[in-house]
C-alpha cells in the first residue's frame, strides 16, 4: 500500500487557531468504516435558527448522500441542523443500498439529537462502489452526541480526511457595523480534484444571521472563484459537498450579497481551496495560472484550466523544466479563442514568449532558475480583450501514481 503518511512539502505549519463559532459544536470518533486507529466519523451540530446553504458535485454518478443533501438544502426550517461525515467509503455507485444507508444514518442522528430527518445532512468520502457499513456509523451516534463541544473543530478536520496528509482549516473575523462576525471552516481533499463545484468536502460556519436564499446566493457566487478554480488531477468526485451554516448567534444580520461578510467568506473559501491544492497527491509545487487579455472571462478560465489540467504541463513543472511550448499547446487545444501571434507568456517576472515566438530577452537559464521555486506563477496574456481568470494547481509527480495505484489496497 502507498505511504501517504509523509506530510506534503507545501503544508502550512500546523492547524490554525480558528475563531469559535457560537451555535456550532463538533465531535469525531473512530468507527472503523475503513481505517483503523484514526477518527473517521464526524458529527457537527448547528443550533436552532441556523440557515444552511450548499453546493454539490455536478457528476452524473454522484453519491446517494449528495442526492439527499441537494433536496434538503433548499428547505427552510427553524430547527437546528446536523452534518455527519464519514471517511473511507464514498457510498457512491451503491444503488438502493446507498440510499438505505443514508436513510439509516439520518434516522439514527435524528433519533438521538431530536432533529427532524430533513435537517440531517450526510457526506461520505473514500472508495467508490463498495457498500457503506453504516451500522458502524450508527453505532457511534450516542458517543458522538455526548462528545459534542464548540472547540473541537480540529478533531472534525482530522475526522474527514482520506489521503490528505494534513488537516485543513481557515477562519477570519470581520467587523460589520462595529460588531465582530466570525467565520471558520474545514476541508478535505487531496486527489480527484477538478473544478466542477467544491471538488472535495468543505464545511464552513459563521455566527452571522443570513436568510437561506441570500446565503445560497453568496456561496454559489464565491464558489466559482475559489473551489471551482482549483485542480489537482482534472477528475471530478462523485461526492463533492460544500455546506455553509449560519447560526445567527452574533445578532448581526447580513442583507446584501457584497460587503465585508462576503469578503471575509471569500478569504476563508480561497484559503481552504489553496490548502487542498497544496495537499495534492504527490505535489511538490503550488502553481497559480493567470490568464488575461482573453475575449471573455469564460474564455480566460477555459485557457487557464487547460494549462492547469495538462499532464504535460504538470510533469514539466515537476521536472523543473521551463517548457513553454507546453503552455502554447494547452492554449491551442482549449477550444477558446486565441491568436498565436498575440500571445505573451511569463514565468513569474521572466518574459518567455511574445509575438508568436520566444522572447529575444529570454534565456533557458533564467527560465530553469525560476522553475526551481516551490511556488510558481505562470502568466498568459492573449491580447484579445478584457477577459481574465485565475486557476490554482500543483505538479504531477511519481507520488500521485504511487498513491492512486494502491488506493484500494
- Among all chains, which residue has been given the C-alpha cell 511556488? 375
Whole-angstrom distance, CA of residue 12 vs CA of residue 31: 28
Contact 277/357 with Cβ under 8 angstroms?
A: no
Say whether 148 sits in a helix, a strand or coil.
coil
Contact 59/92 with Cβ under 8 angstroms?
A: no
Whole-angstrom distance, CA of residue 122 vs CA of residue 66: 8
Helices 311-318 and 297-309 pack at an angle, to 10 degrees, of: 60
Tally the C-alpha atoms within 13 A of residue 185's C-alpha that lie toward its C-beta.
27
Taking the alpha carbons of 30, 35, 38, 43 in that order, is the dihedral positive or negative? negative
Whole-angstrom distance, CA of residue 215 vs CA of residue 212: 5
Catalytic residues: 199
For the chain, count helices (H), then strands (E): 12, 17
Question: Which residues touch 232 (CB under 8 Å, ≥6 apart)?
Answer: 189, 190, 191, 192, 193, 194, 276, 277, 280, 281, 283, 393, 394
Residue 59 CB neighbour total at 10 angstroms: 17
Question: Which residues touch 173 (CB under 8 Å, ≥6 apart)?
Answer: 19, 180, 181, 182, 183, 264
Amino acid at each position: 500500500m502507498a505511504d501517504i503518511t509523509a506530510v506534503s512539502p507545501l503544508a502550512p505549519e500546523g492547524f490554525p487557531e480558528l475563531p469559535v463559532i457560537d451555535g456550532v459544536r463538533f465531535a469525531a470518533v473512530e468507527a472503523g468504516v475503513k481505517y483503523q486507529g484514526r477518527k473517521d466519523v464526524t458529527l457537527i451540530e448547528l443550533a436552532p435558527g441556523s440557515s444552511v446553504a450548499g453546493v454539490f458535485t455536478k457528476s452524473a454518478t454522484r453519491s446517494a448522500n449528495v442526492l439527499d443533501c441537494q433536496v434538503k438544502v433548499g428547505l427552510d426550517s427553524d430547527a437546528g441542523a446536523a452534518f455527519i461525515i464519514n471517511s473511507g467509503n464514498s457510498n457512491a455507485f451503491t444503488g438502493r443500498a446507498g440510499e438505505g444507508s443514508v436513510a439509516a444514518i439520518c434516522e439514527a442522528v435524528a433519533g438521538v439529537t431530536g432533529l427532524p430527518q430533513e435537517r440531517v445532512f450526510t457526506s461520505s468520502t473514500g472508495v467508490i462502489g463498495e457498500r457503506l457499513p453504516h451500522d458502524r456509523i450508527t453505532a457511534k451516534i450516542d458517543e458522538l452526541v455526548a462528545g459534542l463541544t464548540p472547540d473541537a473543530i480540529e478533531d472534525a478536520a482530522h475526522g474527514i480526511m482520506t489521503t490528505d496528509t494534513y488537516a485543513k482549516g481557515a477562519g477570519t473575523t470581520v467587523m460589520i457595523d462595529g460588531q465582530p462576525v466570525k467565520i471558520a471552516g474545514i476541508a478535505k481533499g487531496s486527489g480527484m480534484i477538478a473544478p466542477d463545484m467544491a471538488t472535495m468536502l468543505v464545511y464552513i460556519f459563521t455566527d452571522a444571521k443570513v436568510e437561506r436564499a441570500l446565503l445560497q446566493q453568496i456561496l454559489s457566487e464565491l464558489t466559482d472563484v475559489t473551489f471551482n478554480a482549483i485542480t489537482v488531477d482534472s477528475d471530478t468526485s462523485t461526492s463533492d459537498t460544500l455546506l455553509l451554516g449560519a447560526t445567527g448567534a452574533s445578532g448581526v444580520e447580513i442583507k446584501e450579497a457584497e460587503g465585508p461578510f462576503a469578503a471575509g467568506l471569500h478569504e476563508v473559501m480561497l484559503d481552504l481551496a489553496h490548502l487542498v491544492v497544496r495537499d495534492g497527491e504527490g505535489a511538490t509545487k503550488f502553481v497559480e495560472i493567470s490568464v488575461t487579455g482573453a475575449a471573455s472571462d469564460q474564455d480566460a478560465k477555459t485557457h487557464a484550466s487547460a494549462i492547469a489540467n495538462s499532464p504535460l504541463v504538470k510533469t514539466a513543472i515537476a521536472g523543473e523544466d521551463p517548457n513553454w511550448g507546453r503552455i502554447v499547446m494547452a492554449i491551442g487545444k482549449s477550444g477558446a479563442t486565441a491568436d498565436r501571434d498575440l500571445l505573451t507568456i511569463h514565468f513569474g517576472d521572466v518574459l518567455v514568449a511574445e509575438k508568436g515566438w520566444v522572447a529575444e530577452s529570454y534565456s533557458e537559464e533564467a527560465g530553469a532558475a525560476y522553475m526551481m521555486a516551490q511556488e510558481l506563477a505562470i502568466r498568459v496574456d492573449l491580447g484579445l480583450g478584457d477577459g481574465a481568470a485565475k486557476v490554482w494547481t500543483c505538479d504531477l509527480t511519481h507520488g500521485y501514481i504511487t498513491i492512486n495505484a494502491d488506493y484500494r489496497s
